[in-house]
Structure 1
Amino acid sequence: MTQCQPSADLPCLWLLSDARNDAQLEDSLDRLPPGSGFVYRHYNLAPTERAARFEVLAEHARERGHRIVLSGTPAQAQEYGADGIYGATDRIGPPRPGLLRLATAHDAGELAAAERARADGVFLSPVFPTRSHPGGASLGRETFLALARSTTLPVIALGGMTVHRAAALDWPRWAAIDGLTRLPNSA
């Protein structure tokens, strides 16, 4: 697999939270290699519950040296004490000192929008069929690679990713929900 050059800002491996993996998150965070990334989504929770769960998971993640990014607004990310923001280009806002801005993209147009927004990185998805969007279209290996190589932004592969699919894709940065929930120690 292509080797990733992690930086203090942009880890190589990312775990995304979801209602369906919540019960395993602490264990999953423990099993990620130190310095990985964690995207906190938890859209299913009411605002007070969401903030409380974030606090627990962020403390757990920081103990392991992981970066924590919030799906929300830049103001929420700063209020929560997150390292960054995750979302569509129109939600991540302009560059802010000390706030990592990770855009989401699903096609060439959204990838170009992430470039114009000067995002720090972009989650390009879905690479493969995924439980998050059953029956939905996926990019597939060749389309993903063509899009990912067309940008100067660091691209994080997302959607149906597992350790085995990441190796077959031969892309240095990747993320998963289910595919990182039950890892052996230090993926």
Structure 2
Amino acid sequence: MSTEPRELRADARENRLRILAVATDVIEQQGTMASLNEIAKRAGVGPGTLYRHFPSREALLAEVLATWVKRVEEAAQSAPVRTRDDLVDWLGRLAGIASGYRGLAASMAASMDDEASPLRHAHRASLVANTLVFERAREAGLIDHAVDSGTVARLVTGVAMVAEQATLPPEQVRDMLRVILDGLTARSD
């Protein structure tokens, strides 16, 4: 989801690329609510230049998240889905990817139902990825009924938000995801 005009002058193109590179670093360090003025300052441009390229925080985040979206899609494609542990691993990867930028899980949660949000593309990518994995889980007999991807995404986003705020170790995150999965997996008893 690019906000870039079709043709930019060379200096404008360089400014835009520099803003994106700096924004990626600053957002990784400080989270999604990092100061846009600080991003502009570190990129060596004025706030007006930043806003000409990215009219809102969400528009800038959406561009920064293009790489994030690709990671989600690749993770879904490569996720093995043969066992219950595979599903826990998938949910853990999804939660981990959501926690890649501090504050991202909360920003995504806030935009889940906002069709106009530039973050919608990133949210939609996580839903599509989760649907792909869960369809394979159904085919493997791991899930005994239809589960809405949106519901699962909200649950995983909630886990990612808690994990981030409480700085939980990975094993505690896995335990939380196992609890969620217990409600989704087929029972043989």
TM-score of the two chains, using structure 1 as the length reference? 0.28
Return the structure number with greater helix share. Answer: 2
Return the structure number with greater strand share. Answer: 1
TM-score of the two chains, using structure 2 as the length reference? 0.28
**Higher radius of gyration, 1 or 2:** 2
